[in-house]
Structure 1
Amino acid sequence: MTKLSVNINKIATLRNARGGNVPDLLKVAQDVERFGGQGITIHPRPDERHIRYQDARDLKKIVTTEFNIEGNPEKSFMDLVLEVQPTQVTLVPDAVDAITSNAGWDTVKHAGYLTEIIQELQRNNIRVSVFVDPVLDMIEGARKVNADRIELYTEAFAHEYGLGNKNGILPYIEAAKLATVLDLGINAGHDLSLDNIQFFKQSIPNLLEVSIGHALISEAIYLGLDNVVNMYLHKLK
């Protein structure tokens, strides 16, 4: 079964809008696990506009499933993840002013940089996933920099699927096949939702994990967090 890691950035956004501690990020993380979620994902950014660095430290103490921290491996991020020691770090090349992640790594152009970062994380027993577009050269590049996994950036798939074009899945299938041959684990994330997750899961061979935040939290407003987590789990079987 493909694991569901729930990105709780949007809970932090809501909390920060009023100050204080409502909603309680730590309680939400515990509830997600209690409802059956198999991982917690956060993406702290330097401006701490949603997840704060202290949240990562606090979550480490209470998360009992997989703990995944995403981000651009600048110095402050690296200092944080080496301190916190999550299960997995997902390297994402987002700009400081990016609203959300909007591109995968050029694993060829940045091979030297990524190799150094990945070696440091792996020396600390942290699994490393690299955020990539479904481009075969980028998958091969991820293997060459010794990543443990790739995370397929799925916005293009979600957009095409929403238009009724199921052929948008084809580059992802080819990317997943190559990753399997190269012994890279396969994760995926971005704009996956209850509408498209089952088709994506059924199409992608050896999909280990999906990270879903914005859609899941939005859907939970109407359907409830417990219900939505279990709807995803059902579709991922």
Structure 2
Amino acid sequence: MNPLIAPLAHDGRCALSVNVNKVALLRNTRALGIPSVLKAAETCLLAGAQGITVHPRPDERHIRASDVHELAALLKGWPQAEYNLEGNPTHNLMALVRALRPHQATFVPDSVEQATSDHGWDLPRDNERLAPLIAECRQLGVRVSLFMDPTPEAMRHAALLGADRVELYTEPYAAAHGGPQQVEQLQRYAQAAQAALAVGLGLNAGHDLNRANLCDFLRAVPGVQEVSIGHALVADALELGYTETVRDYLRCIQRAYA
């Protein structure tokens, strides 16, 4: 099965990729090696997650390069799961992509000092620096997803660049969920998704999605193949445990398709 086009979930539903960055952030506060990033990833996979995501930053404030390699080794034993490396391809991401050839590289336009991702690529302004990096990933057999704001007209530019997917930056929707702007935000994302699908792009989504807002998002936005969720999922796991948390997110996805 071609990893450039294959969806993660085998039943046609949106797949869940668990971002384990926050596990590493907690571990890094002490020199004891706990909590274990590998154990967290393995437990989530055993609970049914279809993938693992990491966002290694140059300062290694959470995920370290050694974690990225160790997780790659772990995932060799999980051929049904995917490995998603995300980050700025002009920083430290491409060296890891070249070494490990993950299933997917998600290009994110974050700066070194940013606490978290907060915007998508500006296309076509960013085309020139992205084009050779996307081409290189495709030559390596690595699917490329571009982190994007829900801007319908930008989807054509992403497709022309050679990206395989876009990941819709969902924080504005999450901030509006439950309020008077929720419907308007969902319409924005649905329009962006339709524009992406119309030009042949696959569709991912992520940022501040959680158990309260995920189902509504998937019901309203067509064609989402993968969500990557980290902060909320790890926070939930502090109360529920990894296994029950992953299963609950999978139930949210299942309800969206009921």
Gaps of 5+ in 2: 1-12
User: Does 1:48 find its partner at 2:64?
Assistant: no
2:200 is the alignment partner of 1:188:
no
Aligned match of 2:129: 113
Change (3 A) 1:162 1:100: farther
Specify the alignment match of 1:37 in structure 2. 49
Deviates more, 1:37-46 or 1:58-67: 58-67
Question: 1:78 — aligned with what?
Answer: 94
Offset at residue 20 of structure 1 (A): 2.5
In structure 1, C-alpha distance between the alignment counterparts of 2:243 and 2:101, rounded to whole Å: 28
Alpha-carbon distance between aligned partners in 2 of 1:142 and 1:4, rounded to the nearest angstrom: 23
* Contact kept? 2:85, 2:93, Cα under 8 Å: no
2:249 corresponding residue in structure 1:
232
8 Å Cα contact 1:107/1:114 also seen in 2: no
Name the structure 2 match of 1:176.
193
CA distance in 1 between partners of 2:207 and 2:157 (Å): 21
SS at structure 1 position matched to 2:53: strand
Q: Is the aligned partner of 1:218 residue 2:235? A: yes
The 10-residue stretch of structure 1 (149-158 or 21-30) with the greater mean CA deviation from structure 2: 21-30
Match of 1:203 among 220, 236, 258: 220
Question: Where does residue 112 of structure 2 map in the other structure?
Answer: 96
Quote the offset at 1:137 in angstroms: 2.3
TM-score, length-normalised on structure 1?
Answer: 0.97
Aligned equivalent of 2:166: 150
In 1, Cα distance between the equivalents of 2:162 and 2:53? Answer: 22
Query: In 2, Cα distance between the equivalents of 1:210 and 1:54?
Result: 25
Distance between the aligned counterparts of 1:136 and 1:175, measured in 2?
A: 4
Task: Report if the CA contact (8 A) 2:104-2:142 is conserved.
Answer: yes
Q: Distance in 2 between matches of 1:117 and 1:20?
A: 37
1:228 Cα deviation from its structure 2 partner: 1.0
Q: Structure 1 residues 228 and 207, CA, compared in 2 at 3 Å: closer, same or farther? A: same
Shift of 1:75: 5.1
Residues 178-207 of structure 1, C-alpha deviations (whole Å, 9 max, x = no match): 111111000000000000000001111111
SS of alignment partner, residue 83 of structure 1: helix
Letter in 2 for 1:101: S
Q: CA offset at residue 166 of structure 1?
A: 2.2
| Count of paired positions | 237
Which digits, 9 at most, give the CA deviation of each residue in 1:46-97, with x for residues without a partner? 0000000111111100112100000000253211111011110000000000
Quote the Cα distance in structure 1 between the aligned partners of 2:39 and 2:238. Answer: 17
Give the distance between the partners of 2:92 and 2:171, measured in 1 at CA: 27
What does residue 140 of structure 1 align with? 156
User: Which sections of structure 1, spanning at least 5 residues, go unmatched?
Assistant: none
Cα deviation for residue 164 of structure 1 reads 4.7
Query: Take 1:155 and 1:76, find their aligned partners in 2: how far apart are those partners?
Result: 24
Question: Which deviations, in whole Å up to 9, do the C-alpha atoms of 1:91-119 show, x marking residues without a partner?
Answer: 00000000000110012101121111100
Distance 1:75 1:195, change over 3 A: closer
Q: Return the alpha-carbon distance in structure 2 between the equivalents of residues 122 and 17 of structure 1.
A: 37
* Moved beyond 6 Å, runs of 4+: none
2:178 and 2:160 mapped to 1: Cα distance?
34
1:30-50 deviation per Cα after TM superposition (whole angstroms, max 9, x unaligned): 111001000000000000000
Identity %: 43
Structure 2 length as normaliser, TM-score? Answer: 0.90
State the AA in 1 paired with 2:139.
R
Q: Which amino acid is 1:49 matched to? A: R
- For the aligned residues, what is the CA RMSD? 1.0
1:87–1:127 contact (8 Å) kept in structure 2 = yes
SS at match of 2:16: strand
